[in-house]
């Protein structure tokens, strides 16, 4: 109750399309419950400006409204504002496909922004820099074996279960605090200190940031020491949020490393008695081209401390970069979810989950996969279980402890099949998009589309989140009652 909450959005949206299935327009209103007082409008605004997601929609009007209520204040939460609008768009597409006889996959593919249209400006003025949405959807559908699903559906029906499959595309906008600073120092004793204003909280910065330093300076991974969160040493920093850490931290680290190589080359030329133009730097060594004369990076750092070092080079071998980067990047991807529903209890089991996420450049694919897996779990948690429930008469929070507040657990989820796509972003020199939030963003739409697909033959057309067993059971009974009424009439 005393912590910030998130996601509380009511969306009323209309999608227009022509007889061939091409999208014409999107219109609607997003109403955000910001709680008892306003903390931020970021989720509402970021969601609104990406409401058409990865699809080519010629015209769109989306009104954003914030309302106050007697509930806990709303704040940004992983992929602030985007999962909700992706959910709305993906549900609209599924509804359009079912009502008008389109194939769900083909309808999406027809309307995806093609790679040839990049950079693409959406109806809200947001410029997507690059991407191949069609290729990612095609790969996800193939990886999930969409073509073989009907056999799995029939097998499940033989066990008394209703099986469904759902698809969702997504796009993110990675921005965050635009200023970042890095200071890299090569210590003569064989250590490289990297002082940076980002802060790790399980994202693996100590590994992935060090990998870049190793790539640029040719030292060993264990020789890199990352220093963050120390206000005595970190003069400037924007922290870790909105997919900014590697995207902005990598840019300033690269520039600082370039300064070290440039300064180191002048020192190496002094020690090797050669011209700077005759030197090449590779694998931590400055080498005179065409000879075996070389000097190592740490030897150069020691030479810089000598009293007879040239003026302007004497002191530390270091580099510093303080940059403001305001241009966003746009991670994107696609997810396919399969579920089985027990019609007697309404219980939903996620049995397969597949995703392909484009992060621009994956410095450490294992870490990116880990981020994606955690994000998927959070997205499925919102779709199926998590809910801050208040008593409508007393205002009492009814899910105030983990006894009442349901969260995703490992035993409730299958193993995930994930792949990384790498179409470089043009918004920064390293081609990075960001990979910390994408797993969450499509999970809502993919899961609910799968559940509705499972129950479509029973007459269920839509379900609101969280899709609890009670809601599923009620929807089945309501659809059955409506069907019986139609048959009697």
pLDDT of res. 199: 86
pLDDT of res. 488: 60
Question: What is the Cα gyration radius of the chain?
Answer: 27
Average pLDDT over residues 6-24: 97
pLDDT of res. 330: 96
Beta bridge partners of 352: 338
- Taking 70 as the threshold, does the pLDDT of residue 489 lie above it? no
CA angle 305, 306, 308 (to 5 degrees): 135
Q: Could you read off the pLDDT of 445-466 as tens digits, one per residue?
A: 999 999 999 999 999 999 999 9
pLDDT of res. 486: 65
Q: Could you read off the pLDDT of 85-136 as tens digits, one per residue?
A: 999 999 999 999 999 999 999 999 999 999 999 999 999 999 999 999 999 9
* Phi and psi angles of residue 52, each rounded to the nearest 5 degrees, phi first: -85, -5
- Which CATH number applies to 9-174+328-488? 3.30.365.10
* 293/288 Cα distance (integer angstroms): 6
The closest of 488, 484, 483, 450 to 467, measured between CA atoms, is 450
487 pLDDT tier (thresholds 50, 70, 90): low
Contacts of residues 258-265 at CB distance under 8 Å and 24 or more positions apart, as own/partner, are 258/216, 258/319, 259/318, 259/319, 259/320, 259/321, 260/184, 260/186, 260/217, 260/317, 260/318, 260/319, 261/216, 261/217, 263/304, 263/313, 263/317, 263/319, 264/186, 264/297, 264/300, 264/301, 264/317
- Taking 90 as the threshold, does the pLDDT of residue 166 lie above it? yes
pLDDT of res. 481: 75
Q: Edge-to-edge strand order for the sheet containing 162-171?
A: 162-171, 332-341, 348-358, 416-421
Q: Could you read off the pLDDT of 360-378 as tens digits, one per residue?
A: 999 999 999 999 999 999 9
Domain residue extents for the chain: 9-174+328-488, 179-324
483 pLDDT tier (thresholds 50, 70, 90): low
The closest of 317, 338, 319, 323 to 414, measured between CA atoms, is 338
Topology of 179-324 in CATH?
Answer: Aldehyde Oxidoreductase; domain 4 (3.30.365)
Q: For the chain, what is the mean pLDDT? A: 94
Beta bridge partners of 280: 287
The closest of 75, 83, 69, 87 to 390, measured between CA atoms, is 69
Tokens for 228? 């963050």
- Does this chain's domain 9-174+328-488 share its CATH topology with 179-324? yes
The closest of 197, 103, 98, 105 to 144, measured between CA atoms, is 105
- The set of residues, in sequence order, having a beta carbon less than 8 Å from that of 63 and lying 6+ positions away, is 28, 29, 30
Average pLDDT over residues 157-183: 95
- Taking 80 as the threshold, does the pLDDT of residue 482 lie above it? no
pLDDT of res. 436: 85
């Amino acid at each position: 109750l005393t912590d910030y909450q998130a996601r509380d959005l009511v969306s009323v949206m209309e999608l227009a399309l022509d007889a061939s299935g091409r999208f014409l327009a999107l219109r609607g209103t997003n109403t955000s419950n910001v709680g008892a007082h306003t903390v931020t409008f970021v989720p509402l605004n970021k969601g609104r400006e990406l409401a058409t997601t990865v699809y080519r929609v010629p015209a769109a009007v989306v009104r954003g409204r914030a309302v106050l209520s007697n509930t806990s204040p709303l704040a940004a939460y992983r992929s602030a504002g985007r999962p909700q609008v992706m959910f709305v768009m993906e549900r609209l597409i599924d509804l359009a496909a079912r009502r008008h006889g389109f194939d769900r996959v083909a309808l999406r593919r027809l309307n995806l922004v093609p790679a040839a249209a990049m950079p693409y400006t959406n109806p809200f003025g947001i410029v997507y820099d690059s991407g191949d949405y069609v290729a990612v959807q095609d790969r996800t559908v193939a990886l999930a074996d969409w073509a073989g699903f009907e056999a799995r559906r029939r097998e499940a029906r033989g066990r008394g279960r209703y099986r469904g499959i759902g698809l969702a595309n997504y796009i993110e906008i990675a921005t965050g605090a635009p200023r970042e600073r890095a200071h890299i120092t090569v210590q003569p004793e064989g250590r490289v200190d990297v002082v940076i204003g980002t802060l790790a909280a399980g994202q693996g910065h100590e590994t992935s940031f060090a990998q870049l330093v190793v790539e640029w300076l040719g030292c060993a991974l264990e020789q890199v020491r990352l220093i963050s969160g120390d206000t005595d040493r970190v003069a400037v920093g924007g922290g870790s949020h909105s997919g900014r850490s590697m995207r902005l931290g990598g840019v300033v680290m690269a520039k600082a490393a370039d300064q070290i190589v440039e300064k180191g080359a002048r020192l190496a030329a002094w020690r090797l008695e050669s011209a700077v133009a005759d030197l090449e730097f590779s694998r931590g060594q400055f080498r005179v081209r065409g000879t075996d004369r070389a000097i190592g990076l740490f030897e150069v750092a020691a030479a810089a401390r000598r009293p007879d070092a040239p003026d302007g080079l004497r002191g530390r071998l270091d580099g510093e970069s303080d940059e403001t980067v305001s241009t966003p990047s746009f991670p994107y991807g696609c997810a396919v979810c399969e579920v089985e529903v027990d019609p007697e209890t309404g219980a939903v089991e996620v049995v397969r989950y597949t995703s392909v996420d484009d992060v621009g450049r994956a410095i450490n694919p294992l870490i990116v996969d880990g981020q994606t897996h955690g994000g998927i779990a959070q997205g499925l948690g919102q779709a199926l279980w998590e809910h801050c429930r208040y008593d409508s008469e007393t205002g009492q929070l009814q899910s105030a402890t983990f006894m009442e507040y349901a969260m995703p657990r490992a035993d409730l989820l299958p193993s995930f099949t994930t792949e990384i796509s790498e179409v470089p972003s043009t918004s920064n020199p390293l081609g990075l998009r960001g990979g910390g939030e994408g797993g969450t963003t499509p999970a809502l739409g993919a899961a609910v589309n799968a559940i509705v697909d499972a129950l479509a033959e029973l007459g269920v057309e839509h379900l609101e989140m969280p899709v609890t067993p009670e809601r599923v059971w009620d929807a089945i009974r309501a659809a059955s009652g409506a069907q019986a009424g139609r048959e009697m009439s």
